[in-house]
Amino acid sequence: MRTKALIRLTFLSAVICWLVLVFSDVTVLFSRDKGLDPGVPLWLPRVMLDLYIVCLFYYYKFRIERDEGLNFTDLLWKVFATGLISTVLSLSIRLILGILGSTTLSSNILFQDVLYQINFALFLSFLLAAFSSWKRLILYQKSKWLIRLWTIFEVALLVILLSNILQIPMTDEMNVILMVLFGILTIILSANMKWVAYLNFRQKWTSILILLLTLFYIGYFFWSVVWNLPAELNNRAGMFLSYKDHFFNLCLYFFVITYSVFSFLVILFNLPTSSVFEQKLEEVVNFRISQSIQTEQNEESVYKILLESSVSSVFADAAWLEIRGSNNEARFFTYQISEEESRNIAFHLKSNNVKGVLDQNTDKTKNLSKHLAGLKGTRFRSLLSFPILVKGDIIGTLALLKELPEGFNKEMTRIVSAFANQAGISIENFRLMEEAFQNERYKEELKIAKTVQKSLLPDKLEKDPTFEMAAFSQSADEVGGDYYDTIRIDDHQVALIIADVSGKGTTAAFHMSQMKGIFHSLAQQDLDPKEFMQRANRALVYCLERGSFISATYFAIDTQSKKIRYARAGHCPVLFYRANTQQAEYLKDRGTALGMIKTKDYCNYIDTNVISYAPGDIMVLYTDGITEAKDQKGEEYGDDRLKDTLLRVTSKDPKEIAEFLISQLYEYSGTHMINDDYTTMIVKFT
Amino acid sequence: MVHIKRLQEDGADIIAIIGEIDASSSIELDLAIAKSVGEGFRKILVDCSALEYISSAGLGVFMSYIEEFKDKNVTMVLFGMKEKVMNTFTILGLADLLHIRSDRHEAKQLANELSV
């Protein structure tokens, strides 16, 4: 507000000064013409002219120099616009005069004077506008010594202006020396063209055009004000107001034209390399962004960095970032705006059917400032919105707000777009890394479980002169809980166990190790199989988690009495082949799996069974992975196929039988990629 | 893959299991039963006529409720099982622990008798 008031004040002062200048000048001229006493001091027009210059100088200082929102082309446009208005005004006056033809009025010296004053004022106004703009361009990326140099330059101009007011007499030599010094200063200052590098190709063309027109205006005014000055007027007015020799005016003129020509040439010669430069600039910007974002630890901080860096790089007044999570719940990160207000704006745009912003269904970036005007109760007049893309999916929206209307330009859009893209990539990286990490952990866990499971299975089985044993076990990628083991109870008894722990992975391996402990501690005590199962159940009931259990069959082979006592706790019934009848059968005795019945009632659900054996008999212990193996059509291998397979190889030794059974199984399933555990133990009596 | 449907009939909650129950789908079965118990049903009938396969994890679900049912006086009867599925129950020794009937009518009858 203060700036606006100052702008108005300075403009008003300039107008007043100019009016006083014109009246006093006309008065002086008129009275001098008629040989009268002018009634106003002779110095008044001169001082008023300088005051007019000072006022205009401050007017443009506030309008152009202090306006942070202007970029380079905006500055050039301002100069161009001022020049255009001045030239059009000046030309129209000239046109009117031309139409009027040579009348007494047009030859009247007073009338000529007024016209001349108008032209002169317009020219000065244009020069000062250019001066302010050039100042900003020169001081872009300023250094200390540059500021000092500029201060010297401005002070020198002020001194010239003052000397003009005070009419300090100067010799020609002094004038020449001053001129040369001033010229050197101007040329040094004019070498500051850093801003040109930041223009893109199109902006360079625009700038060249504007500069050409600016040079044309300068030429026109030079012709109309300095060159074409009516000789009569010059002669008469020279006494109190020297136009041609207005030293300040000349300096200003020299400065403006020098910088315009320099800029024009520099931009022109920069044109061929601009695309390369643009590319490099973009690379640098992207690199800086990625540096700042990639060092962050998690998604949350990426969002925050994105918000902060986009706000600071485009000078937004407020911003919000809306992120949609996997559960479709929106999260808001805001800056200088409440979540409610952001929702209001989003809702407003949605209800006005504004497509392409904030609805997260589009990949287009749009500047939708005009739609904001319709929303009451918001201080914002500009809105810029970007989607945040991860793997082509929009996961969120970034919205930047400004209180100024049309507050965003193309460069800002490009920068923020780069930020948003980089943030998307970073988030994608985070997600991939997280995934890989989880995967790796899972694999590691499986590896451990597999190692544990392997180490739980016996390296060698017990040996006995009256029977031979062989076992085979292979687990799928996902570790199962198949367990078998043997232990010698005494010189004529051997204990066997086969078990299947429900569940998979580390828990299964863990329960397996519990089963192993139970087997090794209980089997040595020469327990009745039923007693063994009861104790095992009691031990396991409180170890197993809810819903999991262990199926097992425990055998105690007595080689003296040639009898097998066994108890089946929910495990697959053993396949028993009798050599004398050449028949095989499943021993489907009742029995419930371990860990299912938590009370002492378990004794009612388990039995000890006894069978006797003869040489040549074969016992096949297996887990359900074998009978439940499926072929391509999804049909299970089943009990009957297993039995038939066994009958084909009864004469072989246990190792060969086991190998044959497994090879048949692979052939049946048609693949070596098993999806369950295959475990079998063959016992053949001799 | 499993699909579980629930419908209420004469004060009994009938849970129909359609498809296969393995380690991952057993969670759905668990949820369905837990919901039924949570809603206060005292008679739960499980329709297994469309159950194609049940793994040990699925059986574990049924087993895990036995004590809770005893405490809360809830009766669960399974019915309509295919032979293959029934075989799984028998091998694991669950046939004696659970109430299993061949069809819905018998199952209802048993549930009514038991819940008196």
Question: Rounded to whole angstroms, what are the CA distances from A1 to A5, A7, A8, A93?
Answer: 6, 10, 11, 36
Would you call A481 an interface residue with chain B, using a CB distance cutoff of 8 Å?
no
B-chain residues within 8 Å CB-CB of A502? 56-57, 59-60
* A209-233 average pLDDT score: 79
A46, A112, A546: which is closest to B61 by C-alpha? Answer: A546
Using alpha carbons only, give the angle A686, A638, A484 rounded to the nearest 5 degrees: 50
User: Nearest chain B Cα to A676, which residue?
Assistant: B55
Give how far B31 is from chain A: nearest CA, Å: 13
Burial, A108: exposed, middle or buried (Cβ in 10 Å; 0-12, 13-18, 19+)? Answer: exposed
Tell me if residue A147 falls in helix, strand or coil.
helix
Q: Determine, for residues A596 and B94 on separate chains, whether the beta-carbon distance falls below 8 Å.
A: yes
Chain A CB within 8 Å of residue B34 CB: no
The DSSP call for residue A226 is I
Distance CA A595, CA A599 (A): 10
Of the candidates A190, A195, A186, the residue with the CA atom closest to the CA atom of residue A141: A195
- For chains A and B, CB pairs below 8 A equal 63
Best A483, A501, A502, A537 residue to mutate vs chain B (most B CBs within 10 Å): A502
Cα torsion angle, A372, A378, A384, A389, sign: negative
CB-CB under 8 Å, A549 with B93: no
Q: Identify whether the C-beta of residue B70 lies closer than 8 Å to the C-beta of residue B39.
A: no
Q: Please report, for residues A65, A471, A653, the alpha-carbon distance to residue A468 in angstroms, rounded to integers and kept in the order given.
A: 102, 10, 8
Q: What are the pLDDT digits (tens) for A135-157?
A: 888 887 677 888 888 888 888 88
DSSP H helical segments within A191-224, as ranges?
Answer: 201-221
* B94–A contact, CB cutoff 8 A: yes
Which of A396, A341, A397 has its CA nearest to residue A372?
A: A341
Longest alpha-carbon distance in chain A: 159
The whole-number pLDDT of residue A249 equals 80
- Cβ of A570 within 8 Å of Cβ of B30? The answer is no
| Residue A386 near residue A363 (C-beta atoms within 8 A) | no
B31 touches chain A (CB under 8 A): no
Quick check: B91 contacting A, CB < 8 Å?
yes
Cβ atoms within 10 Å of A455's Cβ, excluding its own: 11
Please provide the DSSP assignment of A578-613 as one string: ETTTTEEEEE---BPPBTS--SGGGGGGB--EEEE-
In Å, how far are A106, A176, A562, A590 from A114, measured between CA atoms? 11, 32, 139, 125
More confident residue, A375 or B11: B11
Residue B7: CATH number of its domain: 3.30.750.24
Confidence of residue A563 (pLDDT cuts 50, 70, 90): very high
Token pair in block for residue A566: 């066994």
CB-closest option in A503, A593, A636 to B92: A593
Question: Is the Cα torsion angle B58, B64, B69, B70 positive or negative in sign?
Answer: positive
pLDDT over 50 (residue A630): yes
- Burial label for A67, CB within 10 Å (0-12, 13-18, 19+), is middle
pLDDT grade for A233, boundaries at 50, 70 and 90:
low
- Separation in Å, CA A81 to CA A210, A216, A217, A321, A453: 10, 13, 11, 38, 85
CATH 3.40.50.300 assigned to domain A296-433? The reply is no
Among A61-75, A346-360, B13-27, the range scoring the smallest mean pLDDT is: A346-360
Please check whether the domain covering A457-685 is classified as CATH 3.60.40.10: yes
- pLDDT given for residue A1 in this prediction: 61
CB contact under 8 A, B97 and A597: yes
Q: What is the Cα–Cα distance from B115 to B44, expressed in whole angstroms?
A: 11
- Range of B88's domain? 2-115
- The residue assigned the tokens 């409610």 is A340
**A476-512 pLDDT, tens per residue?**
766 678 899 999 999 999 999 999 988 777 788 888 8
User: Which pair of structure tokens corresponds to residue A20?
Assistant: 């006083």
Q: Is the pLDDT of residue A410 over 80?
A: no
For every residue of B85-96, DSSP letters joined together read: HHHHHHHTT-TT
The rounded distance, in Å, linking the Cα atoms of B48 and B58 is 12
Length of chain B: 116
How big is chain B by its Cα radius of gyration, in Å?
A: 13
User: How much is the pLDDT for A68?
Assistant: 65
- Euclidean distance between CA atoms A544 and A223, whole angstroms: 104
Q: How far is B91 from chain A (nearest CA, A)?
A: 5
Confidence of residue A584 (pLDDT cuts 50, 70, 90): very high
Shortest CA distance from B91: residue in chain A: A570
* Alpha-carbon span A265 to A131, nearest angstrom: 18
- Is the pLDDT confidence value at A550 over 60? yes
Task: Tell me the average pLDDT of chain B.
Answer: 88
For residue A624, give how far its alpha carbon lies from the nearest alpha carbon of chain B (Å).
Answer: 10
- Distance in angstroms between the alpha carbons of the first and the last residue of chain B: 36
- DSSP class of residue A315 equals T
Note the pTM of the prediction, 2 decimals. 0.53
CA distances from A542 to A170, A501, A598 (A): 113, 15, 8
CB contact under 8 Å between B61 and A591, yes or no, is no
Task: Decide if A503 and B92 are in contact by the 8 Å CB cutoff.
Answer: no
User: Rounded mean pLDDT of chain A?
Assistant: 82
Which residues does residue A550 pair with via DSSP β-bridges, in sequence order? A501, A594
A596 neighbourhood in chain B, CB within 8 Å: 63, 66, 92-94, 97
B37-63 pLDDT per residue, tens: 888 888 999 999 999 988 888 888 888
Judge whether residue A293 has pLDDT over 80. no
Pairing between β-strand B12-21 and β-strand A493-501 as defined by DSSP bridges = unpaired
A590 with B93: Cβ contact below 8 A: yes
pLDDT at A355: 53
How many Cα atoms within 13 Å fall on the side-chain side of residue A51? 17
Q: Quick one: average pLDDT of A92-112?
A: 76
Percent with pLDDT over 70 in chain A: 86
CB-CB contact of A524 with A469 (8 Å): no
User: Is A378 or A562 the better-scoring residue by pLDDT?
Assistant: A562
Q: Out of A546, A588, A593, name the one closest to residue B64 (CB).
A: A546
Cβ A596–B61 below 8 Å, yes or no?
A: no
pLDDT over 80 at A556, yes or no: yes
> What mean pLDDT comes out for the span A46-60?
86
What mean pLDDT do residues A349-367 have?
52
Q: Which residues of A touch B84 (CB under 8 A)?
A: 636
Query: How many domains, in total, are found in chain B?
Result: 1
Percent of chain B with pLDDT over 70: 99
Residue B97 and residue A569: Cβ atoms within 8 Å? no
How confident is the model at residue A487, as a pLDDT? 93
**Whether A597 contacts chain B with CB within 8 A:** yes
Tell me the backbone φ, ψ of residue A466, rounded to 5 degrees: -95, -5
Predicted local distance difference test score (pLDDT) of residue A359:
39
CB interface of A with B, residues 537-556, below 8 Å: 546-549, 551
Instruction: Say which residue the tokens 């990326």 belong to.
Output: A141
Grade residue A363 by pLDDT with cuts at 50, 70 and 90: very low
Q: Which residue has the higher pLDDT, A471 or A633?
A: A471
- Which residue in A503, A547, A570 is closest to B91 by CB distance? A570
* 3 state DSSP class of B36: helix
Query: DSSP code of A572?
Result: P
CA dist A528 to A302, A576, B31, Å?
67, 21, 40
Q: Are A639 and A586 in contact (CB under 8 A)?
A: yes
CB atoms within 10 A of CB A145: 8
Q: How far apart are CA A203 and CA A71, in angstroms?
A: 11
Residue A507's Cβ-side half-sphere holds a number of Cα atoms within 13 Å equal to 13
Cβ-Cβ contacts under 8 Å for B64 (sequence gap 6 or more): A546, A547, B30
Q: Which residues pair with A318 in a beta bridge?
A: A401
Beta bridge partners of A558: A493, A563
How much is the average pLDDT of B4-32? 88
- CA–CA separation, A536 vs A377, rounded Å? 75
Taking only residues 604 to 623 of chain A, the set having a beta carbon closer than 8 angstroms to any beta carbon of chain B reads: 605-606
Residues of B in contact with A506 (CB under 8 A): none
Q: Are B27 and B57 in contact (CB under 8 A)?
A: no
| Per-residue model confidence (pLDDT) at position A358 | 44
